[in-house]
């Protein structure tokens, strides 16, 4: 689903008041349903809003806030979707914990089965244990194993419900939803202006809203405002996935960064303006915030001294939120545009990226840079990568990127001293290169690595990589002894180079590698032309 924002032309005071009343009534109605869905009788019906609707229609329910019948039903649906999204977002965290637990496959399957159905899940709070349907399982789950899973799920659910009333609450009235029966779009043939006639609180009397631009409006829409003066219409459209052309690269790996959106293995940079935009935006925000804090301190002192007039003037004229929020929105839009442009330049059948659900953590980057990174970039990268994968038609692989920027792609040595800032030099074999490209080279193998999975803890990942490196060293020692005993054999370098790693990841076929220098390697010599990788491991 793609959302297009249509802004309205300036509205007169009467229309603003009517729309404001609708926004306020809708928010209160939605809050009523959110509170109802938190009760024991209705929390199992979060995904069955039609059942709740039919029950209240049968009881001849009248909206507590004066909304017409069609609109309170939309508020009910909106509340159910809000609750469902909240629970599912929290379940993703619980599922990640389940994935990392040393449980059997049947235990994990049982845990996922409990989380997949709300009535089944909430029954645990009433000490009713659902019967596990193991018809399609090779082995039934044992009682003590099931008890372990149930205790974990129940504890997680109780913790979730304690936070629920604080989160599932309409904090600010700023939007309402309309379906196709609640509005009508028409156009003035003389001025070529489009008008949207929407349902209000009074039956039979619609509110006419003039729109900017010319575009189709259909399906369910949302009317949104930030300041009760400027309104916009959010229209959703289904996205049609494109088919990647045959001549596109097989796999592309990009390294997400700060100075640019991404860098591929050939050294090509995508979105090179990102770093300058982040630096300027954050510095401007810091400078502006410092000045506002000074004015706020002056206003507080004036209020303490009894000069309320001066304090009020400073607050109204110098500490407003309208310009501040508008500037923040402009910056965010610019960053999203730069990231979107970068992804539009990618033409590959497979794109590998790191799991971006964690928080950027680069301790060595400094608090100021970390603040810039965590401000906007992570969410935008995740959303745009998922959206572009659907629109452009490439296969998006998300992998575990732990230690990718500290692992040598030539010998497999894992050590924090391998990387110094943006430089990479292996402490074992002296392999040198650019840190982002080296990390991307390692991500190629992660995309097809069955041992290192997406949610594997970083400590377990390091242990697995260290074990592989030790085995590789032992194998080379054994091979060296064999070659000494048989001098007639042709000598070949058995080093696990980056070229072999990349070609095996792309073609999944065994290919021989050329002899390389045993002392020094460079990234440019190791990369193949049809591969690229994405990594954010340095953060």
Which pLDDT band holds residue 233 (cuts at 50, 70, 90)? very high
CA distance 317 to 296: 12
Which token pair is 237? Answer: 């459209």
Whether 40 shows a pLDDT value over 80: the answer reads yes
Boundary residue ending a domain (167, 191, 209): 167
Please say whether the beta carbons of 220 and 236 come within 8 A: yes
42 pLDDT band, cuts 50/70/90, is very high
Q: Please give the radius of gyration of the chain, using alpha carbons only, rounded to the nearest integer.
A: 29
pLDDT-derived band of residue 361, with 50, 70 and 90 as boundaries? very low
Instruction: Provide the pLDDT for residue 414.
Output: 93
Are residues 196 and 122 part of one domain? no
- Residue 206 lies inside a defined structural domain of this protein: yes
Residue 141 has pLDDT above 90, yes or no: no
Confidence band, pLDDT 50/70/90 cuts, at residue 104: confident
**Among residues 385, 365, 382, 434, which one has the least CA distance to residue 405?**
434
Mean pLDDT of 410-414: 91
| Cβ-count burial 420-446 (b if 16+ within 10 Å, e if not) | eeeebbbeebebbbbbbbbbbbbbbbb
User: Residue 532: pLDDT band by 50, 70, 90 thresholds?
Assistant: very low
Does residue 309 sit within a domain?
Answer: no
- The order of strands in the sheet holding 183-187 is 183-187, 194-199, 206-211
DSSP state of 198: E
Last residue of a domain, one of 209, 237, 265: 237
Same domain, 157 and 190: no
**Statement to judge: residues 449 and 373 lie in one domain:** yes
Q: Is residue 301 part of a domain?
A: no
Residue 488 has pLDDT above 80, yes or no: no
For the chain, the average pLDDT equals 80
This prediction's pTM: 0.67
**Same domain for 76 and 66?**
yes
The last residue of a domain, from among 118, 141, 167: 167
- Our count of domains for the chain comes to 3
Residues 184 and 97 in one domain: no
- Name 52's Cβ contacts closer than 8 Å, sequence gap at least 6: 36, 42, 45, 76, 80
Please check whether residue 370 is in contact with residue 293, taking contact to mean a CB–CB distance below 8 angstroms.
Answer: no
33 and 20 inside one domain? no
Domain region containing 95: 27-167
Please say if the pLDDT value at position 519 is more than 90: no
User: Do 460 and 375 belong together in one domain?
Assistant: yes
pLDDT of 21: 94
Q: Are residues 148 and 209 in the same domain?
A: no
Q: What are the strands of the beta sheet with 269-270, ordered from one edge? A: 269-270, 262-264, 249-256, 348-354, 395-399
Is 483 within a domain? no
Q: Residue 478's pLDDT is what?
A: 79
The model's confidence at residue 15, banded by pLDDT at 50, 70 and 90, is: very high
Residue 397: count other Cβ atoms within 10 Å of its Cβ. Answer: 18
Q: Tell me if 467 is assigned to some domain.
A: yes
Least confidently predicted of 11-15, 19-23, 337-341? 337-341
What does each C-alpha distance from 65 to 16, 31, 75, 174 come to in angstroms?
A: 19, 11, 11, 16
Q: Is residue 345 part of a domain?
A: yes
Same structural domain, 339 and 380? yes
Asked whether residue 67 is assigned to any structural domain, the reply reads yes
Q: 90 with 190, same domain? A: no
Query: Are 333 and 383 part of one and the same domain?
Result: yes
Q: Are residues 83 and 129 in the same domain?
A: yes
pLDDT band at 157, cuts 50/70/90?
confident
- What whole-number percentage of the chain has pLDDT above 90? 31
Alpha helices (H) in 373-431, listed in sequence order: 378-392
């Amino acid at each position: 689903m793609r959302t297009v924002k249509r802004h309205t032309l300036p509205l007169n005071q009467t229309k603003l008041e009517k729309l404001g009343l609708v926004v306020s009534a809708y928010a209160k109605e939605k809050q009523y349903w959110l509170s109802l869905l938190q009760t024991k009788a209705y929390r199992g019906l979060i995904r069955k809003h039609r059942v709740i609707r039919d029950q209240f229609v049968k009881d001849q329910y009248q909206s507590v806030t004066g909304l017409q019948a069609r609109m309170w039903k939309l508020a009910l649906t909106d509340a159910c979707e809000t609750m469902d999204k909240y629970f599912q977002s929290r379940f993703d965290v619980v599922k990640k914990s389940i994935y990392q637990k040393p449980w059997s496959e049947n235990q994990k399957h049982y845990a996922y089965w409990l989380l997949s159905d709300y009535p089944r899940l909430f029954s645990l709070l009433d000490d009713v244990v659902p019967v596990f349907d193991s018809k399609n399982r090779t082995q039934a789950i044992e009682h003590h194993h099931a008890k372990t899973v149930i205790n974990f799920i129940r504890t997680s659910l109780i913790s979730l419900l304690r936070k629920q009333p604080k989160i599932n609450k309409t904090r600010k009235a700023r939007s309402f939803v309309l379906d196709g029966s609640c509005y009508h779009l028409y156009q003035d043939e003389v001025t070529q202006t489009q008008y949207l006639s929407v349902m209000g609180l009074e039956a039979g009397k619609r509110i006419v809203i003039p729109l900017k631009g010319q575009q189709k409006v259909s399906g369910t829409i949302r009317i949104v405002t930030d300041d009760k003066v400027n309104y916009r219409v959010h229209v959703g459209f289904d996205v049609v996935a494109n088919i990647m052309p045959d001549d596109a690269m097989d796999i592309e790996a990009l390294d997400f960064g700060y100075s640019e959106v991404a860098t591929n293995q050939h050294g090509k940079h995508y979105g090179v303006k990102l770093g300058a935009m982040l630096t300027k935006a954050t510095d401007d925000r810091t400078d502006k915030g410092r000045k506002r804090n000074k004015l706020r301190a002056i206003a507080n002192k004036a209020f303490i001294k009894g000069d309320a007039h001066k304090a009020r003037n400073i607050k109204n004229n110098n500490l407003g939120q309208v310009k501040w929020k508008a500037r923040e929105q402009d910056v965010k839009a610019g960053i999203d545009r730069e990231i979107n442009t970068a992804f539009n330049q990618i033409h590959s059948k497979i794109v590998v990226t790191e799991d971006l659900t964690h928080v950027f953590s680069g301790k060595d980057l400094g608090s100021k840079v970390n603040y810039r990174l965590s401000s906007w970039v992570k969410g935008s990268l995740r959303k745009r990568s998922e959206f572009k994968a659907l629109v452009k038609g490439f296969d998006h692989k998300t992998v575990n990127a732990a230690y990718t920027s500290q692992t040598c792609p030539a010998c497999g040595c894992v050590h924090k001293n391998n990387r110094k800032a943006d430089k990479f030099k292996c402490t074992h074999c002296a392999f040198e290169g650019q840190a982002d490209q080296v990390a991307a080279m390692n991500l190629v193998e992660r995309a097809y690595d069955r041992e290192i999975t997406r949610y594997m803890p970083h400590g377990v990942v390091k242990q697995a990589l260290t074990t592989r490196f030790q085995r590789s060293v032992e194998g080379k020692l054994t091979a060296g002894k064999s070659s000494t005993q048989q001098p007639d054999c042709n000598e070949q370098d058995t080093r696990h180079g980056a070229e072999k790693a990349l070609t095996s990841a792309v073609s999944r076929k065994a290919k021989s590698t050329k002899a390389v220098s045993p002392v020094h390697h460079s990234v440019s010599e190791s990369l193949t032309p049809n591969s690229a990788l994405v990594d954010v491991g340095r953060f």
